[in-house]
Amino acid sequence: MIPFKKDNLNRVSDSEMIEIYNKIKTPVKRGAVMKWENDFTDSPTVFKKDGVYYMYFIAISKDCSVSGYETHIASSTDLINWEYLGPIFRRNELNHWDSKQCAGYAAFKDILFDGTNELNEVNGKYYISYLAGNSDGYEPDPLYMGLAKSDDPTVPDSFLRFEDPILKPEDPDSREMETKTLYKSCLFKDILGVTGYPYVNIYNGKAQDSTERIFLAVSNNGENWERYGDSHVLDMKEIDPNTRITGDPQIVCIGDVYVMFFFHCTAGKGAYNTFACSRDLINWKVWDGAPLVEPTESWENVHAHKPWFVRHNGVNYHFYCAVNENNERFIAVATSV
């Protein structure tokens, strides 16, 4: 475990939070963009390559007891209409640590607010981090963190998985509140240089009491990862004692501020997406205003959560997972105009 780097940076002010909210808000609900009849679709990560947008997303049979997460890819030229291309990761019968659960997320995307949205090559390759496990069901414990690489991130079934997990809940340096399961990871370049390491991994992990918090790991080469700090960096339970999940972080950089999109879920209430800001990736100021996306429509009257933010041609696109009481779970988008 690597100690947190000493913070000599200014905290984000209230006025800066309001300014950032006005830059990233997406009040216009556009509805479903990836919805399947027999499967739940979930956890979109969107990037651009050669003028085309691509979405990695995960799917699981609605009969979750005999299924598990798989990863797929779709393409779009307008970020609204998507064409399915094929699978990235399929479940298999190899009885391996990642045979039954393989939920993938785009890694090392350009995180600048008005950036290219393209993936950065690392070591001459493109990477996907993924949630992994070897049991059927909906997110069965334990889950591990895997990594895979490819010469072309847009080619279905082209990624070579690493032989071993990059992080496990039972690792010797695993922090107290992440010893049950590791969930979604977002790998990115520390372009502000605040950690002292070129690459950062931000993810949510689950404690033995099944509450989830957000943690950091760092790397010199993008493949070998060490935990950063002796504790979590964000836990909404410190603000709302009824919090169950602080999860699914994504990082966007606006000026000299890192913006973390994430979702918050409390017992008995619908999950929603909000954000927090930091100059050091350790000390986060949470937005205390209206959620960025919350369940407001009949087709998403249970949850509106699991964010992925893209800015294209001056327009914000906030992809998320919509859940309703009709047993539907699918990917939707909200926009700024």
Report the pLDDT value the prediction gives residue 333, as an integer from 0 to 100.
Answer: 98
Residues 194, 51: Cα–Cα separation, whole Å: 31
Report the pLDDT value the prediction gives residue 86, as an integer from 0 to 100.
Answer: 97
pLDDT digits (tens, 9 = 90+) for 77-130: 999 999 999 999 999 999 999 999 999 999 999 999 999 999 999 999 999 999
N residues, the chain: 337
The CA distances from residue 266 to 91, 211, 297, 331, in Å, are 31, 10, 19, 21
Residues 4, 12: Cα–Cα separation, whole Å: 19
> Do 223 and 123 form a contact (C-beta atoms < 8 A)?
yes
Taking the C-alpha atoms of 1, 128, 266 and 180 in order, what is their torsion angle to the nearest 10 degrees?
-50
Report the pLDDT value the prediction gives residue 268, as an integer from 0 to 100.
Answer: 86
Q: Which residues pair with 219 in a beta bridge?
A: 199
> How would residue 235 be classed by pLDDT, with cut points 50, 70 and 90?
very high
CB neighbours of residue 126 within 10 Å: 24
The yes-or-no verdict on residue 8 having pLDDT over 80 is: no
> How would residue 325 be classed by pLDDT, with cut points 50, 70 and 90?
very high
The yes-or-no verdict on residue 232 having pLDDT over 90 is: yes
**Chain centroid, CA 53 distance in Å:** 17
Instruction: Output Rg (C-alpha) for the chain, integer angstroms.
Output: 18
Report the pLDDT value the prediction gives residue 13, as an integer from 0 to 100.
Answer: 97
pLDDT digits (tens, 9 = 90+) for 260-308: 999 999 988 999 999 999 999 999 999 999 999 999 999 999 999 999 9
Residues 319, 63: Cα–Cα separation, whole Å: 25
C-alpha angle with apex 274: 325 to 138, nearest 5 degrees?
45
- Taking every pair of Cα atoms in the chain, the longest distance, rounded to a whole number of angstroms, is 54
**Chain centroid, CA 293 distance in Å:** 15
Residues 85, 55: Cα–Cα separation, whole Å: 10
Residues 168, 212: Cα–Cα separation, whole Å: 15
Contacts of 232 (CB under 8 A, 6+ apart): 175, 177, 178, 205, 213, 214, 215
Report the pLDDT value the prediction gives residue 9, as an integer from 0 to 100.
Answer: 72
For residues 157 and 319, the model is more confident at: 319
Residues 301, 322: Cα–Cα separation, whole Å: 8
* Secondary structure E strands in 11-123: 28-34, 39-49, 52-61, 70-76, 83-89, 101-106
> Do 326 and 62 form a contact (C-beta atoms < 8 A)?
no
Residues 218, 260: Cα–Cα separation, whole Å: 17
> Do 41 and 60 form a contact (C-beta atoms < 8 A)?
no
Report the pLDDT value the prediction gives residue 10, as an integer from 0 to 100.
Answer: 85
The DSSP H or E segment spanning 22 is: helix 14-24
Is this structure's pTM higher than 0.75?
yes
For residues 110 and 10, the model is more confident at: 110
> Do 318 and 337 form a contact (C-beta atoms < 8 A)?
no
> How would residue 7 be classed by pLDDT, with cut points 50, 70 and 90?
confident
Compute the average pLDDT of residues 146-165. 97
Compute the average pLDDT of residues 183-191. 98
Report the pLDDT value the prediction gives residue 132, as an integer from 0 to 100.
Answer: 98
Residues 6, 283: Cα–Cα separation, whole Å: 11
Percentage of the chain surpassing pLDDT 70?
100
Report the pLDDT value the prediction gives residue 6, as an integer from 0 to 100.
Answer: 80
Residues 130, 166: Cα–Cα separation, whole Å: 10
CB neighbours of residue 143 within 10 Å: 28
Q: Torsions phi, psi of 269, nearest 5?
A: -130, 160
Report the pLDDT value the prediction gives residue 37, as an integer from 0 to 100.
Answer: 96
**Taking the CA of residue 163 as centre, how many other CA atoms within 13 Å lie in the half-sphere pointing to its CB?**
0
